Amino acid sequence: MRRFLIILIILAISVGVDICNYTEDSYARIETKALLSVRAVIEPQTKISIQIIDTPEWQTNPSVPDCPLPSAPPGTQKDELSFCTQMPGEYHFYKGLKVTVKSNGVAPTVRLNVSPMKSVDDEIPAERIFVKTNDGQYQSAEEDIILSNGAASGPKEKFILKFKVNTLISDMAGDYGGKMEFITVPTL
């Protein structure tokens, strides 16, 4: 048994020495017996983050100073955009949005879809809701608003969005609510 163990140790040491004695020249003479190709696919991903911010328009052109705003419970952050009016006209929302789009590849097209604002008895159509983007022009939200056309200069884009609404004398009094969707369309 002891003899077998000694032979095994000597064999292991000699094999180990042979493996360690390869030089660059001897390695170049090694023949490849099998070859495996490896491919990794990383899917494009897009992340959109939204932050509600104060807007200069609200500070210079408030809707109605004494109009009550819906309040958030103490200790919570308000996650909605709102405006208040007592007369027909054009009114700015109290807050704007800072939108950041991050992508790990070719930037997608980013669109904003704004739904009509509905109350129990009435509706303000999206064509009377306006969005101001980085280009400085207000656009009607009747159709999707293109924020980015997929030709981003880098993996990150920022947009500041501001909103206003046009109310009419025919709009019923009440609380109106709507939604905004940020839609990404991959660039092909």
Q: If you average pLDDT over every residue of the chain, what do you get?
A: 75
**pLDDT > 90: what percent of the chain?**
17
> Is the model's pLDDT at 5 over the cut of 90?
no
Please tell me the predicted confidence (pLDDT) of residue 75.
Answer: 40
Report domain extents, the chain. Answer: 46-70+78-185
What's the average model confidence in pLDDT over 153-161? 77
Q: Among all chains, which residue has been given the structure tokens 């939604």? A: 179
Please tell me the predicted confidence (pLDDT) of residue 131.
Answer: 93
> Is the model's pLDDT at 171 over the cut of 60?
yes
Please tell me the predicted confidence (pLDDT) of residue 92.
Answer: 80
Any idea which fold 46-70+78-185 has? Immunoglobulin-like (2.60.40)
Give tens-digit pLDDT for 87-128. Answer: 788 888 778 889 988 887 766 788 999 999 998 889 999 999
Please tell me the predicted confidence (pLDDT) of residue 78.
Answer: 54
Residues shown for the chain: 188
Distance, in Å, from the CA atom of 131 to the CA atom of 111, rounded to the nearest integer, reads: 12
The answer to whether 131 touches 163, Cβ cutoff 8 Å, is: yes
> Is the model's pLDDT at 36 over the cut of 50?
yes
Lowest-pLDDT range of 36-40, 64-68, 73-77, 176-180: 73-77
Task: Identify the top-confidence range among 13-22, 59-68, 78-87.
Answer: 78-87
Please tell me the predicted confidence (pLDDT) of residue 6.
Answer: 60
Please tell me the predicted confidence (pLDDT) of residue 56.
Answer: 65
Name every residue whose Cβ is closer than 8 Å to that of residue 69 and which is 6 or more positions away in sequence: 82, 84, 94
Give tens-digit pLDDT for 53-76. Answer: 877 655 444 444 455 544 444 444
What's the average model confidence in pLDDT over 125-148? 90
Helix (H) or strand (E) holding 18: helix 2-20
CB-count exposure of residue 162 (10 Å: 0-12, 13-18, 19+): buried
Other beta carbons within 10 Å of 49? 10
Please tell me the predicted confidence (pLDDT) of residue 35.
Answer: 78
> Is the model's pLDDT at 167 over the cut of 80?
yes
